[in-house]
Each structure stands twice: as structure tokens, then as C-alpha cells.
Amino acid sequence: MDSEPIKVLVVDDTLFYRKILCDVINEIPGVKTIGTASNGRIALSRVSSLKPSLVVMDIHMPEMDGIETLENIKKDWPDIGVIMISAHNQKDSKITMKALEMGAFDFIPKPESENMEQNLNEIKKALVPMIKAFLRRKEIRSILKRQKIPEIKKPQPPVKTNESSDFIKKRMEKIAANTRLKSQVVAIGISTGGPNALAVVIPKLPADLNVPVLIVQHMPPVFTNALAQSLNNKSSLKVVEATHREEIQSNTVYIAPGGKQMKVDCSNNSKIIKITDDPPENNCKPSADYLFRSVAECYGERTTAVIMTGMGSDGSAGLKLLKAKGAKIIAQNEKTCVVYGMPREPIEAGIVNVISPLDDIACEIIKTV
């Protein structure tokens, strides 16, 4: 991390929340607030003069709201990160999806308790890891910019003339068997940066994919339904927020509901979705590990598992189980991740079949099904 602290501008029309946000941010090592603003117009003036690295901003404000302000920030200062603050309702969840599509780094739901200490703790729990992830991304991008990556020329494999015809025959039979064994399901684990990344991948999947897609996106309740609606409007596949005990259908994308766990149940010779209130795993509810375990049990080697941008390591344990069953594993590469957390451990563990940039993930999925 740079020796200079990361500068944050706090934008909210409520003095109460400006104070809470500043208090939380100033407790984070290497981070400090450099100013506040009560609406978008003031915020743009402060961005211009103070040059923050990060803006933490409410969606609803007088004179100029968060969406319009975000649009101006991304147009004039594209490298500045923006974290949105959203209310917990259907209307705001749709606006939040729009903000994420416009380039917001992430969002936090605004606490609704009348207890200030409880509000402070909720904001701290959500905001601190998010800002740390932003710092890490900033550090990685700075390193990548400084590095000059040499062009790697792939050596041509030597021509082997001593392979017996039996050996060649067996090898070709193995390749053919692997080719025939197509996946029957796609399971995706994703977190920070997920809505934007999914908006790249899911619309590229064809209407005749002929397998279901199961997604765990770390999000609170309400917001996952807005994500499903947003993706459904962009995609050839049907995209829904999953419901309890519905039968899994091909050519449908199921998104785990926020605040719940989702798994596959195949105990009665059919595959259905189960939505449970089981405890969080890896501090996540929904959890990718929770989904991946059930997919490993019900689909085994006929699975394509995809791990994408996000904080933490949720999904790693489930991917190891899937790998042991013979599943195909695709990981998003570091350069295109908003946060290179969730793909890191599986890649470093050597259990990933394909490391892919975001734009190519849909193509890699299609190859397996």
C-alpha cells in the first residue's frame, strides 16, 4: 500500500449518517476522510478540488441524486471508486443495480435501527472489508501498471515418432470420452463486482444452453431479486430469484435469495432447489460453498463450476470437493476481477482447469456443456 493515506469523500444529505460514515472510515488504517458533502452538486465540486480516491455516497439526495452524481464522476474521473448507500426496499434495489452497472465499486444497505450504536456496527461490518478490498484492488492495479509483461512465445512441441499405435489409440479414446462427458449444470460463486460481471457473462449464454445455471451472488435480501430482473431483461436465458422446492429446469438461471442459503436436492430422483435458513458459511448467506457441496453430490463430474470476482474465500472448499468428483472449474483471472479474492485460493491450489478473462468466461462455459 502507498504511504499516503487513501482519501475518502463522504456524501449524504443527513448529518447523522455523515458522522457515522466518517467515524467508521477514520478507524481504518491507511484511510482518512478529507471532506463531506450534503448533495451531489457539492460533491462534484469537492471531488474536483480534493481529488479523493474513493467516494462513499447515498443514492437519495436533494438537488442532484447519487445516480446523476455517479454518472458525472465516472465521466470526468473514471479512476475514482464509488461505494453507494442504499435503502432496503424494492425501488432502491433497482436503482442500486443501475449504479453498479454504471461502475460503482459496491454498495451497502443503510441500517434502519433507531439505535445509533447498532447502526454504527452494521455500517462498520459492511464498509470496512469493502474499503480494504478497494485498497487491495488499487494496490494490485498500481503494480500491474508498473510491470512490463514480456511477450511469451509458446514453444512448438517436439514431434514424437516413438509412440506406439496402441498408446495413441488409448490417448485418443480418453480425449473422446472427455469430450462426450458434457456438464449438466453450471454453478457460479461471485461477490464484489458481481452484478457487472454477471451482466457480461449471462447475456452471452445462448437460449439453448440446455443446462440450468445456479448462482450465489453475495447480496442482502431484496437486492438479489432486482439483480435477477435486471439480468433477465438482458439475457436470452430466463433469469429468476430461486424459490423453495421448484424443479430445476434447463435454460434457466437461478439466483440464490439474499439472506438465505440455496442448495440442490436430488433425493427423490428429481432435482429441486431448496432454500433454507441454515447459518452463514464464511460469513456469507447465501454461500457458494453451501451450494457447491450439494451440486457435487447431485451432479458430480457433470458440473461446470465458475468462481468469479469477490472478497474472501467463499467457494474454495466446495470447489475442492467438486474437483475431487471430476468437475470442470473455471476461474476469472486477476486482471479482470474487481476484487481478486474468491478466485485466488482455487487458482493457487492448482484445482482450476481454465483461468479466463471476464469477456471469455461465457465461451468457456459453452465449451463444457
Among 218, 230, 289, 316, which one carries the catalytic annotation? 218
Q: Return the pLDDT at 88.
A: 74
Q: Return the pLDDT at 157.
A: 53
DSSP 365: H
Q: Which burial class, exposed, middle or buried, applies to 333 when counting CB atoms under 10 A from its CB (0-12, 13-18, 19+)?
A: middle
Q: Is 314 a catalytic residue?
A: yes
What DSSP letter does each residue of 35-98 carry, written as one string? EEESSHHHHHHHHHHH--SEEEEES--SSS-HHHHHHHHHHH-TTSEEEEEE-SSHHHHHHHHH
pLDDT by residue for the chain (369 residues), tens digit each? 445 788 999 999 989 889 889 998 998 888 999 999 999 999 999 999 999 999 999 999 988 999 999 999 999 999 999 999 988 777 888 899 999 989 899 999 887 777 778 878 888 888 888 888 888 877 776 776 666 545 444 455 554 444 455 655 555 555 544 555 899 999 999 999 999 999 999 999 999 999 999 999 999 988 999 999 999 999 999 999 999 999 999 999 999 999 999 999 998 889 999 999 999 999 999 999 999 999 999 999 999 999 999 999 999 999 999 999 999 999 999 999 999 999 999 999 999 999 999 999 999 999 999
Q: Return the pLDDT at 155.
A: 52
Among 191, 235, 287, 316, which one carries the catalytic annotation? 191
Q: Return the pLDDT at 161.
A: 46
The distance from CA 222 to its chain's CA centroid, rounded to whole angstroms, is 17
Domains located in the chain, CATH noted: 6-142 (3.40.50.2300), 178-368 (3.40.50.180)
Q: Return the pLDDT at 159.
A: 47
Instruction: List strand residue ranges (DSSP E) for 99-202, in order.
Output: 106-109, 185-190
Q: pTM here?
A: 0.83
Q: Is 191 a catalytic residue?
A: yes
C-alpha count within 13 angstroms, C-beta hemisphere, residue 47: 27
Query: Do the beta carbons of residue 316 and residue 294 sit within 8 Å?
Result: no
For the chain, helix (H) and strand (E) counts, in that order, are 12, 14
Q: Return the pLDDT at 173.
A: 53
Among 230, 314, 316, 356, which one carries the catalytic annotation? 314
Q: Return the pLDDT at 275.
A: 98
Using the structure block, give the residue that is written with the C-alpha cell 442448495: 263
